Structure 1
Amino acid sequence: MQRRRFLERAAGAATVAAALPISGCLGSVAGGQSERDYDVGMTATTFRPQEVTIAVGESVTWRNTSARTHTVTAYEDAIPEDADFFATGGYEDEATAREEWWSDRGGALENGDEFTHTFEIPGRYDYVCVPHEQGGMIGAVIVEG
């Protein structure tokens, strides 16, 4: 019985590993452009990288690269005053995003799912994965003007 359980888990791990992009290990290509087609990946309990810096008008794409379900939810009190709030699920405020996650897993990103947001106001934008906040899954986007 233990051997069967081991084989099932090993097969599951191989499936997850096969779904992860290997480009994160390859670094960047000429001109500094990343080979990945996303900016921030999600592991079991972290955003990778935890902080990204972009210019005004650019977008950030998050991709769930783990087997766990995640969210991307801005801390309303930790984004620039005139900035648009952002959250997976399209919620208009942090309280609603949190409530929807805890009541019905609203805003969930499953393995391979992506979320993109365009940043129009310079400043620091702190965000969180709601279900993994206690584990420290917090990130930041720095937007330079």
Structure 2
Amino acid sequence: MEGKVGGAHVWYNPYGLLIRRGQTVQWINKDPGNVHSATAYHPDIYARARRIPQKATAWDSGLLLPDESFAVTFEEEGVYDFYCLPHEHAGMVGRIIVEKPEGTDWLNQDSALAGIPEIALASFPSIDSIMTGKAVKVAI
């Protein structure tokens, strides 16, 4: 989680990541002037569209102050989309793929798109870019 002074631009870095089942991802707020979250798209969290595997456990870091961190261990294979609660409308979203992006037909269904700002939808890294590069980073 990073940002420019004054909050003009905010992002996750990397914002696309390929990992193995059982691996833990840690988000650290490195933005000295802002709070951020790492929040899964899931109906149980703020009644959002589900954009994680059906059997996966949803997560919400809550608001993280500068230098605070939050970690999740990923046990289910598939695609996990997440967002920053206060900055989703600025396109602060990310995607994690655990092993293989199987069963991604839901990504473009109306139910998975409902309520997500256009800027957020346009900001997700492609599955191909993650599978090819293993990590997709913001060019600063």
With the shorter chain as reference, the TM-score category is 0.5 to 0.7
* Cα displacement string for residues 66-86 of structure 1 (whole angstroms, at most 9, x for unaligned residues): 021001100011000000001
The structure having more radius of gyration, on CA atoms, is 1
Residue pairs, 1:78-117, within 5 angstroms = 78-88=51-61, 107-117=62-72
The one-letter amino acid of 2:95's match is A
Q: Alignment partner for residue 65 of structure 1, among 30, 41, 44?
A: 30
Match of 2:119 in 1: none
What SS class does the counterpart of residue 121 from structure 1 fall into?
A: coil
Is contact 1:42-1:62 (8 Å) kept? no
Q: Percent identity?
A: 37
CA distance in 1 between counterparts of 2:99 and 2:12 reads: 20
CA distance in 1 between counterparts of 2:24 and 2:78 reads: 14
Residue pairs, 1:18-97, within 5 angstroms = 41-43=1-3, 44=7, 45-66=10-31, 67-76=33-42, 77-88=50-61
* Cα displacement string for residues 90-140 of structure 1 (whole angstroms, at most 9, x for unaligned residues): xxxxxxxxxxxxxxxxx1101100000000000010000010010000001
What SS class does the counterpart of residue 88 from structure 2 fall into?
A: helix
Moved over 2 A (4+): 41-44
Q: Which runs of 5+ in 2 are unaligned?
A: 43-49, 101-140
The one-letter amino acid of 1:83's match is A
* Cα displacement string for residues 19-56 of structure 1 (whole angstroms, at most 9, x for unaligned residues): xxxxxxxxxxxxxxxxxxxxxx4335111111111000
CA distance in 1 between counterparts of 2:73 and 2:95 reads: 14
Q: Which runs of 5+ in 1 are unaligned?
A: 1-40, 89-106
Number of residues of Structure 1 aligned to a counterpart in Structure 2: 87
Higher-helix-fraction structure: 1
